[in-house]
Amino acid sequence: MRRRDSEALFNKMLISLSIRNYALITSLDVEFKAGLNMITGETGAGKSILLGALSLLLGNRADSQVLKDKDQKCLVEGTFDLAGLNMQQLFAANDLDYDNPIILRREINPQGKSRAFVNDTPVTLPVLKSIGSQLVDIHSQHQNLLINDPVYALHVVDQYGKLFEHLDRFAKIYFRYKQLNSNVHLLQDKLNKAKADQDYLEFQLSQLDEAKLSADEQEILEQEQLLQEHAGEIHIQLNHGVQILHESEDSILSNLKQIISGLQSVAPFYNEVTEPISRFQAAYIELQDLARELNQLQGHVEADPGRLNQIIERLDIINGLEKKHQVTSITELLELQDSYRERLKVIQTSDDEILALKAELDKVTADLAAASQILSKERRRVFPEFEKNVSQLVRELGMPNGRFEVHHEVASQFSQEGIDEIRFWFSANKNQPAEELSVVASGGETSRLMLSIKSLISNSLAIPTVIFDEIDSGVSGDIADKVGNLISRISKGRQVLNITHLPQVASKGDYHYKVYKYDDAKTTHTTMKLLSEEERVNELAQMLSGERITPEAIQNARVLLKR
C-alpha cells in the first residue's frame, strides 16, 4: 500500500462497514483506512450496491426490495471516529449518549419497515440523517446536477470564502425577521377576523349588559313567582289553620283548655292526672305559639298582580337570553358576557400590538438589509479569485481554453440565502462566450468542473469522509492522471473513498479495494476485499489490458504504482 508519512492527522473517519442481506451482498465486513481509499471492480460487480448500503446509514429511505433474502432482515452498520468533530452538542440535543467511536445501524425487515440506531439507541431517520450528514459526503454523478442549482452555487462560494461568521450573523437576523413577519401576519389575520365580528360582539354584549344579570337571580325570581301565583291559596290555608286552632267556637285551644280545667278539678282526688295535666299545658302553650305564627304569616302573604307581572317579564328576558345563546343558566350567560368583553378587548389592544411588532420588524428589516449587503459584498469579493482558481484547475484537467464565471444578480426579496442569486457559467472553447453550465457543458466537463470545485472547498468542509462515485467519468489518458492527482490532493487531511474505473486514478490511492462477484451453488454474491501489493498490481494490469493480463500490462501497473 502507498501510505502517508503520518496517519496521526487521519483520526476522523469511517472505520468499518458491515452489511448483511443487502441486494447481492449476503455478508460483508470491511475496514477502511485513513487517507485515499480506491475502490475498483468490473461493471456490474456491485460498487453502487456498496454506496446504496452506506447511504442507508445517512438516513436515505429504503424498502424491502433491497433484501437479498426476502425472509430475513437487512442490516447495515458503520463505525465512525468522531475525534475532534465537536458533535457533543448535537448528541445532547437528541438525548443521545456521546461515545467515540460511534456505531450507526440501520435495519430493514421483510415488510419494508425500517429502524435506525445510534450506539444501540433507537432514533428517527431525521436524527440519523443529521448525524450522518456531518460524517460523510457522497458525491455521485447524479450530484453533478447540483452545480446548476443557484442555492448550491451560493453554498460553494460561501464555503470557498469561509464566510461562516457573516452567514451566522445573517441567519440569526433572518430567523428573527421571519418570526416577526409570521407574528405580524398571524395577529393581523386574527384582528381582521375579530373586526369582522366586532358589530356582532358589541350588540350581544350590550344586550347582556342591559339585562344586568346576577348569578342567583333566576332561582330567587322563580321562587317568588310560585309564591305570588299561589298567594290566595296560601292565605286561605293559613287562615283556616288559625280558625281551627284558636278563633272558631269549637277551636282546638278552647277544647284543650276545657280538658285542662276538668283534669285540674279532679287532681286533688286523683294524683295520677298531675303528669298529663303538665303535658296538656305544654301542648296548649305550643299550640298558642303556632296560632300566633300562622296569624303573622297571613300578614306576609299578599297577592300583588303588579309584582307578579314584573317577575314574569324579568324571567321572560332571562329565559329568552338563555334560549338565544343556547345555555341553561345565568352563570353560563355571565361567562359568555365575559367572553364577549374579552374578545372586544383583544380587538382594542391588537392594533397597538401590531404597531409595536411592525416597528420592531422595520428595525430588524433594516438590520437584515445591512447584514445581507455585507454578506453580498463579501461574496462578490470572493468571485474573482474563485473564478480564476476553478478556471486554472479545469485547464489542468484537459480543457486548455476552459473559462469559468460566476454570474450574479440581486434578488427582489430576502431569502434564507441572502439577497444574492448566482449561477455558474462556463466555456470550454476558445473565443466562445461563457453560458450556463446546463447549456454548454458535457457530462465529462461537468464532472471535472465539480471535482475542481470540490478540491477548492474541501479544506473548508468539516466532513471527515468524502466519497466520490466515478467522478472521473468521461476522461482518460493524461487527464485521468491529473484527475487522480487532484483527488489525492483532496484526500490530504481527510479520508476519501473513490470509486473509479480508471487505472491511472486507482494507482494514486493509499489503499486499494476490489469489489467483485462470485457464485455458489445457489446464487450470486457481491463482496469486497483490501488488495495486497501484488494483488493491486494484477488489478491495475487487468484494468489496463482487459481480461487477459499481459506482461506489458503488469509492467505498466508497476510503473503507475511507483509514481
- Written in H, E and C, the secondary structure of 205-255 is HHHHHHHCCCCCHHHHHHHHHHHHHCHHHHHHHHHHHHHHHHHCCCCHHHH
pTM (global) more than 0.85: no
**Does some domain include residue 351?**
no
Q: How many structural domains is the chain composed of?
A: 2
Whether 315 is covered by a domain: the verdict is: no
- What is the DSSP secondary-structure string of 385-404? HHHHHHHHHHHHTT-TT-EE
Domain membership flag for residue 28: yes
Same domain for 496 and 549: no
Asked if residue 79 lies in contact with residue 99, where contact means CB atoms within 8 angstroms, the answer is no
Give domain status of residue 394, yes or no: no
Q: Does the residue 195 lie in any domain?
A: no
Residue type, 10: F
Distance CA 297, CA 245 (A): 15
Laid out side by side, the sheet with 403-415 consists of 403-415, 418-427, 435-436
Q: In what order do the strands lie in the sheet with 511-519?
A: 136-139, 465-469, 495-499, 36-40, 511-519, 524-530
Amino acid at 510: D
C-alpha cell of 13?
Answer: 473517519
3-state secondary structure 413-428: EEECCEEEEEEEEEEC
The CATH number of residue 500's host domain is 3.40.50.300
Same domain, 476 and 548: no
- Specify which residues 20 forms β-bridges with: 27, 75
Query: Mean pLDDT in each 10-residue stretch from start to end of the chain (563 residues)?
Result: 47 85 91 93 84 88 82 92 86 89 92 90 92 86 75 91 93 94 88 77 84 86 82 84 84 89 89 90 91 83 80 86 88 88 77 87 95 95 94 89 92 91 90 82 80 82 84 80 89 89 92 92 90 94 87 91 81
DSSP 65: G
CB atoms within 10 A of CB 412: 7
Residues in contact with 114: Cβ distance below 8 Å, sequence separation at least 6, in sequence order: 61, 62, 106, 107, 108, 125
Residue numbers of the domain that contains 547:
533-563
pLDDT tens-digit profile of 432-453? 888 887 777 777 788 888 888 8
- The verdict on 542 and 527 lying in the same domain is no
Q: Does a structural domain hold residue 348?
A: no
- Spatial distance between the Cα atoms of 463 and 494, rounded to a whole number of angstroms: 8
Residue 35 lies in a domain: yes
Closest alpha carbon to 87 in 117, 55, 118, 121: 118
In terms of domains, do 525 and 540 share one? no
Sequential DSSP letters for 76-129: EEEEE--TTS--HHHHHHTT----SSEEEEEEE-TTS-EEEEETTEEE-HHHHH
Residues 24 and 112 in one domain: yes
Shared domain check, 554 and 487: no
- Does residue 545 share a domain with residue 479? no
Distance, in Å, from the CA atom of 85 to the CA atom of 134, rounded to the nearest integer, reads 9
Question: What are the tens digits of pLDDT across the range 189-215?
Answer: 887 777 777 778 778 888 888 888 888
Element (H, E) at 525: strand 524-530
CA distance 161 to 375: 11
**Residue 475 and residue 541 in one domain:** no
Q: Other C-beta atoms within 10 Å of 467: how many? A: 22
Cβ atoms of 99 and 26 closer than 8 Å: no
Whole-angstrom Cα distance, residue 453 to residue 392?
Answer: 11
Q: Please report whether residue 427 resides in a domain.
A: no
pLDDT at 4: 47
Please indicate, yes or no, whether residues 541 and 480 belong to a single structural domain of this protein: no
Q: What is the pLDDT of residue 8?
A: 42
Q: Are residues 562 and 472 in the same domain?
A: no
E-assigned strand segments in 363-499: 403-415, 418-427, 435-436, 465-469, 495-499
